[in-house]
Amino acid sequence: MQANVVTPDGTVFDGEVNMISVRTIEGELGILPRHLPLVTPLDIGPVRLKQDGKVQLIALSGGFMEVRGDEVNVLAESAELPSDIDITRARAAKERAERRLQEAKKENIDFRRAELALKRALNRLDVAQG
């Protein structure tokens, strides 16, 4: 299948894959060739693109996936290859978010925002470290 991952900044991945797995808002989903047509929202999480023998990881910060024929298109809010992830920046974002979670009240909008920022930072650190 042909897989495509794009963000507002440009194309992050474009290539032939045997399988793609993503985190939808309802859980993990693996797509093999000849999958039924599908459009689904994606959660913050890793994308795994399997190419003969190797796996390309991408840190995804949410978006949408469209499966159509032998084409999978991921439209991402942001997406980074492991080599493009700035670990120092992700660690700083993680610490900032953790601090905000301690300060903000649970029902507060800043709390939810900090939770999402923490999730993005942890995902980037996971993907950067394989």
Pick 56 or 61: Cβ nearer ligand ATP = 61
Q: What is the dihedral of CA 10, 79, 7, 99, to 10 degrees?
A: -120
Residues near 118 by beta carbon (within 8 Å), at least 6 away in sequence: 93, 94, 97, 98, 101
Give the residue with the Cβ less far from ligand ATP, 23 or 67: 23
For residues 24 and 64, what is the distance between their CA atoms, to the nearest angstrom? 9
Shortest separation between residue 100's beta carbon and ligand ATP, angstroms: 11
Smallest distance, Å, CB 62 to ligand ATP? 9
Question: Which residues sit at the interface with ligand ATP, rule CB under 6 A?
Answer: 9, 61, 78, 80, 84-86, 89-90, 93, 117, 120, 124
Shortest Å, Cβ 32 to ligand ATP: 28
19 vs 116, which CB is nearer to ligand ATP? 116
Q: Which amino acid is at 79?
A: A
Residue 85 CB, shortest distance to ligand ATP, in Å, is: 4
Residue closer to ligand ATP, measured from CB, 67 or 93 = 93
